[in-house]
Amino acid sequence: MIRSIRTLGLIACAAGALISTPAAFAQGTSGGAQTPTLMPCDGVLQDRAACQREAGAAKQEAQRNGLTSASPSAYDQNALARCELQPMADRAACEARVKGTGMSSTEGSVLGGGVIRETVTPIPAPAR
């Protein structure tokens, strides 16, 4: 018997919040300011009106130097802190999914709706 646990990768949602907007952000060359690089709002991957609202909001925030990103290690620490909230029996599997260790896999994307992290844990069949 194999037990399969699938969870939505919330770290990816948090880490990719800016990427999931219609504007991808590149590091500017002047004083480290972030400048938006607009992607087309084609209405295919995201509603066109919502895409345009998001692009406008991102542009305004970039002009106020309000777009920031944490370091990748800060996102990892956040995800592991959330694993501490899990019941003790599930904590090790949560940490394996976050770290990508053991029989873990990751698929999907933020733009596609979320990153799925899966850990497969073989459980021996009960003795007869």
DSSP 36-86: EEEPP--SSSS-HHHHHHHHHHHHHHHHTT------HHHHHHHHHHHHTTS
Domain edges within the chain: 2-13+71-122, 21-63
pLDDT at 82: 94
CA dist 94 and 80 (Å) reads 8
Q: Which residue, chain included where needed, has tokens 């969870």? A: 7
Averages of pLDDT over runs of 10 residues in the chain (128 residues) are: 44 38 37 50 80 90 87 89 94 90 87 84 87
Tokens standing for residue 100: 């990508």
Closest by Cα among 18, 43, 53 to 26: 18
